[in-house]
Amino acid sequence: MFFPIGDTPNPSFIPWVTWALIALNVLVFVGVTVPLTGQPADPGDPLLQQYLALLLERNPGLTAEGLAADFSAYDLFVYRHGYKPGAPSLRDLFSAMFLHAGLAHLLGNMLFLWIYGDNVEHRLGRLRYLLSYLLTGAAATLGFALLAGDSMTPLVGASGAISGVLGLYFVFFPRNRVKVFVFLFPFIMRVLLFPARLVLGVYLVLDNLLPLALGSGGSVAYGAHIGGFLAGLAIGVGADRLGLRGLGGPTGASPTLASALAAEDAQAVIAALREVTTEDLLALPALDLLALATILGRAGEADIGIWLLRRALRSSSRHPGLHLALGVLWLAQGQDVTAYQHLAAAAELDPSGDAGSRARRLLRQLNATPR
């Protein structure tokens, strides 16, 4: 058995939106699911007859009386408020995200949200994170609907939206590690650290794509999980591509950038950057890139540097100086975990050089900071 229980590193940050989403899901379960599960369905409700007719059509060997005897008021509530591909509703598209089939379903989803949500919330900001959660949840449900056709079987659960969070995590935190409790009695019973992308790749491919391709049945909505994850990947890649547009498009080489860096003149550096191309940035030595990042960070213009350095990184993803400079700028923005990704990359790409040495020094400082 492999059971994820946490991740590292984590931001020194209170993830209010993640906690609020967990609280809302738990409150709905305690306030709606539990009491309604203990009540029989109203035999006079016309919706019950509609649902029974649907189930009898799919299971001709059963009887209406036998089905009705096992029906709870919550089953009927789920049929009313879960998302039914054959009767799409905008209200149900979102209400279904906060309903769960049982305690195990709820606890599994909330564990994943608790593990991965805080980092993504810190990286995106609270409002963008909440919007991304709802959008990927909607995309997950629509992905399920594409595969389900005109089915009237309701979909419920937060796993589609949480899969979106996993997709975002996959993009933003490639060098994080996941704490996994490995229970292979009697050989291994301990917590091990695995690369986050490996764990999330297993979730996507082995837990969802493979069962879907093999036509596995059961109650797991593989299409929703895959749709949510892909939507999270798309939002994450889009956010990284667009970045923060602090400048107009760079148009030509600037002979003044080197002198502005040497003088540590922030305003002159910003003015010179307006004429810098990606090729100019890639030609700068690691120490000049670090000086650029430091000057912009001190001047409160870290967003400009992040945007430019990310552009350069697209052309040269294995440039240690770019990763070092980006790590410094993300630190200036208070994004410790995002900074960790780039500092770790610089240390790995330049094991014996100056950029790698400086990156390792900053990593040691990060690891020594109480979190």
> At the top level of CATH, which class does the domain 2-242 belong to?
mainly alpha
Q: Of the candidates 284, 254, 285, 283, which has an alpha carbon nearest to the alpha carbon of residue 270? A: 254
pLDDT above 70 covers a percentage of the chain that reads 90
How is domain 257-368 classified at the architecture level of CATH?
A: Alpha Horseshoe (1.25)
Ordered by start, the domain boundaries in the chain are 2-242, 257-368
Q: pTM, whole model, 2 decimals? A: 0.82
- The yes-or-no answer to whether 2-242 and 257-368 have a common fold is no
Question: How many angstroms separate the CA atoms of 162 and 167, rounded?
Answer: 9
Beta-carbon contacts of residue 31 (< 8 Å; ≥ 6 apart): none
The mean pLDDT value for 176-198 works out to: 88
Helix, strand and coil in the chain, % to nearest 5? 65, 5, 25
222 touches 216 (CB < 8 A): yes
pLDDT tens profile 14-30: 999 999 999 999 999 99
Whether the predicted pLDDT of 202 surpasses 80: yes
Which region, left, alpha or beta, applies to residue 218 given φ > 0 means left and ψ of -120 to 50 means alpha? left
The mean pLDDT value for 151-159 works out to: 90
pLDDT tens profile 306-322: 887 887 888 788 889 88
Cβ neighbours, 10 Å, residue 32 = 18
The mean pLDDT value for 268-281 works out to: 76
The mean pLDDT value for 256-285 works out to: 76
**Where does the pLDDT of residue 235 fall: very low under 50, low under 70, confident under 90, or very high at 90 and above?**
very high
Which of 225-229, 291-295, 318-322 has the lowest average pLDDT?
A: 291-295
pLDDT recorded at residue 366:
86
pLDDT recorded at residue 247:
33
pLDDT recorded at residue 262:
77
